[in-house]
């Protein structure tokens, strides 16, 4: 729960939705393609102000989230709030697409009734390929069941045909697009970015990182996959292999794509599909895994990759292994411990640096420190990072 909320629009303007005392029930709805916003709302501390990117335009089969916020609601004598809402979506010709009623906004005790609430249940939908392009109208009626009060709003979103964007033509643009993607997701640039990566000189240096990033991005925007498949025939062998690899990592079942593959290539694709161990982070034993987790965060803004990185701080027990290895005249039996210390040091450095440059990372770390059950050594290490 937060007292205020900033909305970052795709045009990078900002406005504030706030509540005031002695005001009527208020409601705000934001259409977004940001699927990690629940993490940003519930897994940051109350003092932080999360950003949510608002989508003015969406595309066929793209996942859409309608986040509903409300304030100035009533509470009963037990400090309990009871808010529900109805949702309706209309096509450009005013015919109805969806009609959901009695969606739970919030039911339960409230510690601070001045807080703005994010609905516990929010609408997720897709406008399928047969839906007409144009302006869609959203109507929301929110009901305060304690105060017998209602509030309504009308909003909207434009459905357009997807036109792939081409703007990434150097390493600096590519790196900036990747590391800031979660702040303002623009998946229509994803295919251009993937092809740029595949053909670039930096490919060999960031292969694992990039595939982790694009796997996360395309997995949550699989409406883009048919457009990626369309690019296959026009690419060189390296990029074709990269498309095959990405589709396999996504476990994609696309008949049009599979029919393009020879028997040998199809066998290669199926072997890749079977082995996803490269994305198994249950045991962190190589610094490259940390980079891949950061890639998943940058592609989504999700909390889980950051939590996994924090758990790597438990490897501080291997501190001193590198010196022991040097003093032992490179005793091979110590090599594992040396690698574990390298992972630990990489985790400390990357958490500190990304907390410094990415506000959401620091917000997540503060939340982890205050709310998660941590081993004592992890807590001590995290305090050094957050408080320093």
Look at residue 9 in the predicted model and tell me its pLDDT: 35
Mean pLDDT (whole number) for 356-376: 96
Provide φ and ψ at 13, rounded to 5°: -95, 160
Looking at 1-99, list the stretches that DSSP marks H as alpha helix, in order from N- to C-terminal side: 37-42
Tokens of 92: 């450009």
pLDDT the model gives residue 112: 87
Is pLDDT larger for residue 141 or for residue 330? 141
Residue 19 or 172, more confident: 172
Secondary element (H or E) of residue 306: helix 304-311
- Whether residue 293 contacts residue 210, with contact meaning beta carbons closer than 8 Å, is answered with no
Q: What is the CA radius of gyration of the chain?
A: 24
As a whole number, the mean pLDDT across the chain is 91
Give the C-alpha separation, 228 to 252, whole Å: 12
The continuous run of DSSP H or E covering 270 comes out as helix 263-274
* Region 5-160: CATH code: 2.60.40.3880
The answer to whether 251 and 272 have CB atoms below 8 angstroms apart is: no
For residue 156, CA distances in Å to 22, 139, 194, 338 come to: 29, 8, 31, 56
80-90/5-9 β-pairing: unpaired
Given this model, what pLDDT does residue 278 score? 87
Whether residue 117 has pLDDT greater than 70: yes
User: What tokens does 287 get?
Assistant: 């610094």
Mean pLDDT of 207-227: 96
Q: What is the pLDDT of residue 4?
A: 46
pLDDT for residue 16: 42
Instruction: Kindly indicate the confidence band of residue 327, based on its pLDDT and cuts at 50, 70 and 90.
Output: confident
Confidence of residue 111 (pLDDT cuts 50, 70, 90): confident
For the chain, what percent of residues have pLDDT higher than 70?
A: 94
3-state secondary structure of 13: coil
List the chain domain ranges.
Answer: 5-160, 171-279, 287-387
At residue 330 the predicted structure's pLDDT band, cuts being 50, 70 and 90, is: confident
CA distance 210 to 296: 9
Burial of 60 by CB count in 10 Å (0-12 exposed, 13-18 middle, 19+ buried)?
middle
* In the predicted structure, residue 10 carries a pLDDT above the cut 70: no
- Indicate if the pLDDT at residue 149 is higher than 50: yes
Give 23's pLDDT tier (boundaries 50, 70, 90): low
pTM for this one?
0.91
For 60, 163, 164, 217, 228, the CA distances from 254, given in Å and listed in that order, are: 17, 21, 20, 17, 11
Q: What is the pLDDT of residues 49-68, one digit of tens each?
A: 777 889 999 999 999 999 99
When pLDDT is averaged across residues 168-190 and rounded to a whole number, the result is: 93
Q: Convert the pLDDT of each residue in 242-292 to its tens digit.
A: 999 999 999 988 888 999 999 999 999 999 998 888 899 999 999 999 999
């Amino acid at each position: 729960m937060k007292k205020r909320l900033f909305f970052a629009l795709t045009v990078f303007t900002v406005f504030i939705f706030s509540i005031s005392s002695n005001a009527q029930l208020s409601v705000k709805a934001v259409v977004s393609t940001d699927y990690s916003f629940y993490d940003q709302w519930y897994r940051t501390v109350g003092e932080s102000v999360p950003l949510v990117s608002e989508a003015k335009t969406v595309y066929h089969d793209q996942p859409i989230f309608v986040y509903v916020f409300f304030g100035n609601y009533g509470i009963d004598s037990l400090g309990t709030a009871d808010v529900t809402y109805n949702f309706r979506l209309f096509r450009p010709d005013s015919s109805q697409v969806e009609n959901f009623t009695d969606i739970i906004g919030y039911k339960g005790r409230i510690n601070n009734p001045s807080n703005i609430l994010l609905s516990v249940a929010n609408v997720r939908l897709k406008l399928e390929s047969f839906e007409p392009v144009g302006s869609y109208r959203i109507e929301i009626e929110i009901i305060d069941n304690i105060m017998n009060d209602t509030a309504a709003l009308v909003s909207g979103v434009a459905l357009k045909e997807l036109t792939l964007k081409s703007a990434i033509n150097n390493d600096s643009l590519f790196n900036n697009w990747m590391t800031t993607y979660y702040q303002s997701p623009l998946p229509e640039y994803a295919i251009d970015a993937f092809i740029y990566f595949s053909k670039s000189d930096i490919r060999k240096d960031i292969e694992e990182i990039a595939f982790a990033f694009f796997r996360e991005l395309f997995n949550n925007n699989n409406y883009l996959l048919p457009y990626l498949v369309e690019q296959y025939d026009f690419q060189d062998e390296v990029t074709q292999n990269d498309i095959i690899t990405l589709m396999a990592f996504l476990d994609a079942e696309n008949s049009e794509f599979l029919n393009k593959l020879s028997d040998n290539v199809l066998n290669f694709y199926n072997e890749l599909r079977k082995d996803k161990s490269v994305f198994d982070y249950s045991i962190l034993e190589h610094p490259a895994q940390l980079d891949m987790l950061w890639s998943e965060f940058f592609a989504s803004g999700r909390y889980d990759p950051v939590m996994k990185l924090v758990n790597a701080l438990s490897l501080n027990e291997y501190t001193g292994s590198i010196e022991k290895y040097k003093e032992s005249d490179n005793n091979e039996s110590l090599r594992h411990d040396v690698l574990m210390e390298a992972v630990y040091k990489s985790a400390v450095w990357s958490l500190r640096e990304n907390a410094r440059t990415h506000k959401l990372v620091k917000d997540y770390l503060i939340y982890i420190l205050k709310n998660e059950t941590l081993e004592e050594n992890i807590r001590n290490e995290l305090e050094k990072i957050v408080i320093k």
